[in-house]
Every structure is written in structure tokens, then in C-alpha cells.
DNA sequence: TCCTTCATGAAAATGATTTCCATTATTAAT
DNA sequence: ATTAATAATGGAAATCATTTTCATGAAGGA
């Protein structure tokens, strides 16, 4: 039985059931698309990719499922400022999928990068600890994004 | 003639005119509200505060003006994930207004903080330089936000 | 099997932001 | 100043991603 990764075929199903959710065809299909794409997708992107094979899965179900997945920490939800959210698996086949985004405000192109990740993670950890104490705030998540003009769009300002 | 800050009464007007925009009562009123509030406001927040004194300034004008102000770098636009944007002066009376946000995903309370700012700025500078070179990307802006549960909302998850 | 609960899809609602368009204000040129 | 050209405005209508509603279908437990 071939496996997509080292976490077991149903790596997400445990967490899913544990939180009281049922495992359905729709949900499997949506997670499958996210796994295969391995990059940020909008709800509609996902709908487009699910639809050919499962034409009876509606956009509403996509949104509802994404909501659950965000809440139980299986995917991240991003806002790149173009009016539609993007979703991305927290873990991909290579393990933890941590990276940052560089967003072109002109053409909306997004570059994923991992440069300086170690420094970033170190600082983030430090900040999270410090803020938790000082403000009694339980940090669950964070966002770091850079905006600007990509190679093609530089000068078009 | 009392001044609100050390930058001159019309500190923003130069930049404004320089970019080819006219200075109008509406625009003055909007910037005035942002200056006095000295914190992030939504378009509607601004409308509410402008309306009593200038009932003929419409929401559309607010949005248009905010758009201009963001583009010429007088205000920042933030998305805290609750579906409405917030706007905030880049500079306030004390000088540069750099700070970060802690966002409660339950009650949407936002805590501004400046802890670790020096470390953050140093790392950000370093990253910006590095990424500019590597990806030929001209960074103009960035976002760093922490999400979680505030003191009151912790445990309500 | 029956029953309670969860999941679903289609259509309608929502709500922040944009677009349209006719009117008014502002600037530049004469 | 007066005028011509351009920019700004507000109200209403349009957009559009996301949510809600509601009636129906599927899944698991007693």
C-alpha cells in the first residue's frame, strides 16, 4: 500500500475524528486537492479542481470544510490583500511547511521563500513567549508578509 | 499658532499636492480624524467621526481618500481578518508610529505593542535587503501580526 | 430498525468595498 | 476675473467573496 508521506495514509483523519467531525468523501477530496497542489489555493481554486471528479460538491461545502480545517490546525488561511483568502496545508510531504510570502501588489504574484527562516523562527518564538507573559495572551498563530513590486512590475508604479 | 506636532500644520499637504491631488475639506477632515484618533480605524469608524461635523461627506469619499493616502504612504492599511480594513497614520505626533498587533480571534480585540521592536526592525531590514537581491523584488511594506486568545477569551475556545 | 446528529447543496442574504454617473468644486489658462 | 479643462463628490447600484437558511440526505449509536 503506497503512502503519500511518512505520516500514514490518514494522517489527518485522527485529528479530524478526534474533534468530532465525520470523514466524508467531500472532505477527503478537498484535503486531497490541497495535498497534491502543495501551495496556497483559494476556495474557488479548490472548487475548480474538485469539480471535474465530484461535480456534486458545492462551494458551500468547500468553505465549510476549509473552516473546519483551519480551526483544527490542518491548514493555514492567508489573506494576501486581493479580496479572497488562500488556504495551504500546514504540513506537506516533506514535513513542516513553514515559509513566508512575498506579495506583488501590482500583479498579485506570490513568491514563497524560506530564506532567513531560522532567524525568523527564533525571533518569533522569543516574541511569543514574551507577549504571552506580558499581555496574558495565548498566541496560536502569526502572519509575516512582505509587499512590494516583483521583477516584472518594478517601475510600473 | 499652535501646532499639533513638529512637522508643520500641513505636513501632509506637500506630499499630497506633489502627487497631483487637490486639498479639499473632505480630505482634511479625514486626515484630521485619523490624526486625533491616533489608532487604527475602519472606513466606517472614520465616517462616523466625520459625519457629525460634515454630514455631507459620503462613505464613498472616505474610501477614495483612504485609497489615496495608502498609495502615497501617509497611512497604513491593515487587515485583521474580521472582514473590514483598518487604517492608521504612518506618523503620529511622537514621530514614527511603528508597532505591531496582537489580535484576539475570539473578540477581535487588538493590542498594539512595541516590545521587541528593535529586534524586529533589525531582522526585517536584513530580510528586506536579502530578498530584494535574491528575488529582484522591491519591498515597500510588510505585515507582522500575532493571532490568538486574549486574557478574557482564553479558555472560551 | 429507529433516531438523533451531522453534512450537504441550492438559493438567498450579507456586507464591505467599487463602480457609475450626473453634479459641483478647483485649478490653470487666457 | 471668466472660462475651459480636470478632479472630486455623493448617492445609488453593482460586485463579489463569504455566510446563512432551510429542506434533504447520509452516518453512527441504541
Instruction: Decide: B101 and B80 in contact? Cβ < 8 Å.
Output: yes
Q: How does DSSP classify residue B73? A: T
Is there a single domain that holds both residue A133 and residue A149? yes
**Dihedral over alpha carbons A102, A104, A108, A112 (to 10 degrees):** -20
Angstrom distance (rounded) from CA A22 to CA B156: 23
Is there a single domain that holds both residue B34 and residue B68? yes
**Nearest Cβ partner for B135 among A102, A120, A140:** A102
The closest alpha carbon to A29, from A4, A5, A65, A60, belongs to: A65
Is there a single domain that holds both residue B66 and residue B115? no
Is there a single domain that holds both residue A129 and residue A63? no
Is there a single domain that holds both residue B111 and residue B87? no
Angstrom distance (rounded) from CA B62 to CA B48: 11
State, as a whole number of angstroms, the distance between the CA of B10 and the C1' of D20: 48
- pLDDT over 70, % of chain A: 91
Q: From chain A, pick out residues whose CB is under 8 angstroms from the CB of B133.
A: none
Show the domain range for B134.
98-157
Is there a single domain that holds both residue A67 and residue A102? no
Q: What is the CATH number of the domain that holds B143?
A: 3.30.1490.190
Nearest protein residue by Cα to C1' of nucleotide C6 = A22
Average pLDDT, chain A: 89
**Nearest Cβ partner for B123 among A120, A134, A140:** A120
Number of domains in chain A: 2
Find residues whose C-beta atom lies within 7 angstroms of strand C.
A 20-22, 24-27, 56-58, 60-61, 64-65; B 22-25, 42-44, 59-60, 63-64, 67, 83-85
Distances (CA, A) of A105 to A6, A52, A81, A111, B21: 37, 32, 8, 12, 22
Tell me the per-residue pLDDT of A27-58, one tens digit each, with 9 for 90 and over: 999 999 999 998 999 999 999 999 999 999 99
B9, pLDDT greater than 50? no
Is there a single domain that holds both residue B105 and residue B149? yes
CA distance A67 to chain B (A): 13
The closest alpha carbon to A146, from A113, A97, A123, belongs to: A113
**Nearest Cβ partner for B138 among A79, A136, A148:** A148
A10, pLDDT greater than 80? no
Is there a single domain that holds both residue B87 and residue B110? no
Nearest protein residue by Cα to C1' of nucleotide D12 = B60
Residue B98 touches chain A, beta carbons under 8 Å: no
Angstrom distance (rounded) from CA B59 to CA B65: 10
Q: How does DSSP classify residue A87? A: E
Cβ-based burial of B106 (10 A; exposed 0-12, middle 13-18, buried ≥19) = middle
Angstrom distance (rounded) from CA A122 to CA A127: 9
Is there a single domain that holds both residue B151 and residue B103? yes
Residue B126 touches chain A, beta carbons under 8 Å: yes
Cβ-based burial of B56 (10 A; exposed 0-12, middle 13-18, buried ≥19) = exposed
Is there a single domain that holds both residue A16 and residue A72? yes
Is there a single domain that holds both residue B81 and residue B105? no
Give A27's contacts (C-beta < 8 A, 6+ positions apart): A16, A21, A65
Residue A93: per-residue pLDDT: 62
Tell me the per-residue pLDDT of B66-90, one tens digit each, with 9 for 90 and over: 999 999 999 999 999 899 999 999 9
Amino acid at each position: 500500500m503506497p503512502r503519500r508521506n511518512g505520516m500514514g495514509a490518514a494522517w489527518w483523519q485522527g485529528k479530524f475524528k478526534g474533534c468530532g467531525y465525520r470523514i466524508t468523501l467531500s472532505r477527503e477530496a478537498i484535503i486531497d486537492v490541497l495535498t497534491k497542489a502543495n501551495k496556497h489555493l483559494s476556495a474557488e481554486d479548490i472548487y475548480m479542481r474538485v469539480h471535474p471528479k465530484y461535480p456534486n460538491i458545492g462551494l458551500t461545502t468547500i468553505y465549510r470544510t476549509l473552516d473546519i480545517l483551519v480551526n483544527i490546525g490542518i491548514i493555514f488561511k492567508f489573506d494576501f490583500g486581493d479580496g479572497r483568502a488562500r488556504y495551504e496545508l500546514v504540513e506537506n510531504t516533506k514535513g513542516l511547511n513553514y515559509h513566508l510570502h512575498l506579495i506583488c501588489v501590482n500583479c498579485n504574484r506570490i513568491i514563497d521563500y524560506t530564506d532567513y527562516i531560522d532567524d525568523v523562527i527564533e525571533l518569533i518564538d522569543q516574541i511569543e513567549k514574551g507577549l504571552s507573559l506580558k499581555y496574558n495572551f495565548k498566541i496560536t498563530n502569526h502572519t509575516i508578509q512582505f509587499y512590494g513590486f516583483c521583477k516584472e512590475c518594478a517601475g510600473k508604479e
